[in-house]
Amino acid sequence: MTTQQLIDQIKIKKSFLAVGLDVDLNKIPPHLLELEDPIFEFNKAIIDATHDLAVAYKPNTAFYEAYGIKGWMSLQKTINYINSTYPDIFTIADAKRGDIGNTSSMYAKAFFEDLNFDSVTVAPYMGKDSVEPFLAFENKHTIMLALTSNEGAFDFQTLNVGGTRGEVERSGAKELYKHILETSKTWKNSENLMYVVGATKAEYFTEIRKIVPDSFLLVPGVGAQGGSLSEVCKYGMNANVGLLINSSRAIIYASNGTDFVEKARAEALNIQQEMEQIMSLTFNV
């Protein structure tokens, strides 16, 4: 999918919601456990109930790998279902991969070719040659961790960094995640980059937008983790919206009864309507 197609979807649906499909068998409605593939059936029901309110779905691979081969089959069925039934939807494999060059190429092949996701999340620690193999795929998007939504984000991501190997640049020191954002813009095919920025850190968006004004930001942390949608939009929106706000648990576990579909839709609708209002106020549409 091209970035323009994603932007078009956002304008049509008046939504920039990504629904996180982080399916835990201990949390889904118990009546689904009798089915042959409870994870897929749960995802299918959630997707069918929310596809007109969301522009993206984001399965986190951990929740599938935890169930072994059966889990991977559920993941494959889920992405195939989205691609065949709702081809306008932007799909995100939340996998946080990254390795040396030839290995990252295999991960890119796994997510962009074998599973046919539109995008995958990657970790930056191993640097340029661990990310560029993902960027080589046309009309595929690589979403790199910048500033994450968890407490541990402050362990390393916000450290001030200076020069390399032996000398600190006393002037111009900056936080690691900013240095990573700036550096990534010099990589080959960097136009295929998006970034993860946690909603729990709304005050950081102003600074981040100075570095990557045009890039899409995938924003976890609204809802269960406590981030505010309006605050994120205030500081993080650009002229094309430029945000994908993820909500996982608040939507998919809105109920674990037989009404889980209706409750999930109601929760997604709440968020979509707040988004529509924000877009209306921001863009006068």
Give the residue with the Cβ less far from a copy of itself, 84 or 165: 165
Told to check if 283 binds a copy of itself by CB under 8 A, we report no
Contact pick of 100, 213, 226, 262 for a copy of itself (by CB under 8 A) = 100
Told to check if 81 binds a copy of itself by CB under 8 A, we report no
Told to check if 50 binds a copy of itself by CB under 8 A, we report no
Written as one letter, the residue type at 155 is D
Contact pick of 98, 223, 227, 236 for a copy of itself (by CB under 8 A) = 98
Give the residue with the Cβ less far from a copy of itself, 72 or 235: 72
Told to check if 145 binds a copy of itself by CB under 8 A, we report yes
User: CB atoms < 10 A from the CB of 257, how many?
Assistant: 11
96 catalytically annotated: yes
Q: Rounded CA gap, 251 and 238, in Å?
A: 26
Token reading at 119: 């995008």
Which residues inside 190-249 make contact with a copy of itself, applying CB under 8 A?
A: 220
Give the active site residue among 44, 77, 96, 174. 96
Computed over its alpha carbons, how large is the radius of gyration of the chain?
Answer: 19
Closest distance between a copy of itself and the C-beta of residue 186, in Å? 10
DSSP secondary structure string for all residues of 176-238: HHHHHHHHHTTSTTGGGEEEEE-GGGGGGHHHHHHH-SSS-EEE--BSTT-B-HHHHHHHH-B
Told to check if 182 binds a copy of itself by CB under 8 A, we report no
Q: Is 18 helix (H, G, I), strand (E, B) or coil?
A: strand
Written as one letter, the residue type at 160 is N
Residue 99 near residue 130 (C-beta atoms within 8 A): yes
Any idea which residues carry the catalytic annotation? 96
Residues in contact with a copy of itself by the rule CB under 8 A:
22, 24, 60, 62-63, 65-69, 71-73, 76, 94, 96-101, 103-104, 106-107, 109-111, 114-115, 123-131, 145, 148-168, 170, 173, 175-176, 179-180, 183, 220
